[in-house]
Structure 1
Amino acid sequence: MYGEESRNPKKIIPIAVICSVVGIGAFYVIVSWLAIVGTGPQNAIALAQDSATAGDIFFTPVHQHLGQWAVDLFKILLMTGSFACGMAFHNCAARYLYAIGRENVIPGMRRTIGATHPVHGSPHIAGFVQTAFATVVVLFFDITGRDPTPGSTV
């Protein structure tokens, strides 16, 4: 998806993918281990199985060892990380729409979602289409009162 924007995509993209998978995997293992060690194995299982207390598996040991300021910092990092994930998903969806338009998969879309911004070179129309679609989906679930993820606590 980003290959055409890099200098040497056949070399850079495989390295980036491997580094990302290994880095994220290592981070996941370390954080999971710290959560279990911080709360104790039996307590970690009990906390993780109850959706009302699942977040405590991370925040309780942080509070015990570092204090409330660290919990507040972790919550801010959790929110900004969630925002970053949302932006990454939006960018990915916009670039897929752009590729569909650019390759004229849907006839007549080359000049709309397949176009780039004349100054910045970004797929701005595809981004607006993605934003509009996401807004419609969110409004649908909000107006109808339906839960898109039944059983979740979010």
Structure 2
Amino acid sequence: MAEVKVFNGIDDLKASVGQSYGPTDWFEVSQDRVNAFADATEDHQWIHVDVEKAKSGPFGATIAHGFLTLSLIPMFGPQLTRVDNVKMGVNYGCDKVRFPHPVPVGSKLRASAKLLDVTDIAMGSRATWEWTIEAEGIDKPVCVASMLSVIVA
């Protein structure tokens, strides 16, 4: 597991722009997780949930939803970084998200992040991170996302 980088407040975070962190530990994407995500989002497309039909489909097996892969970033984040001496941090949004390769169910994923920018805003600071999620044995990333968070000091 990567060592967690602990930032001592916003100034410490700002001083780290351009730095990369990770990768995290591997995390296996199970069919149960994919099914639960399908239930939560009402996205029951057969390529995600019908194991038998998916065997003869374009990917040869069921695949995770792209947004399931993206939604793992909040789980991966605390494995890489933490900002101390602040009141809170919240997700602000995404500038760009891509899914360059599907995630076959049973894949093991891990993530890395690069701090691109920290900007002062009215309620605190906005940090921009570039996240790359990779799957074991797959040459392309499975998700690349520019994520923004607001940190209130």
TM-score by length of 1: 0.22
TM-score by length of 2: 0.22
Higher CA-based Rg? 1
- Which has more strand, going by share of residues? 2
Task: Choose between structure 1 and 2 for higher RCO, CA contacts under 8 A separated by at least 6 residues.
Answer: 2
- Which has more helix, going by share of residues? 1
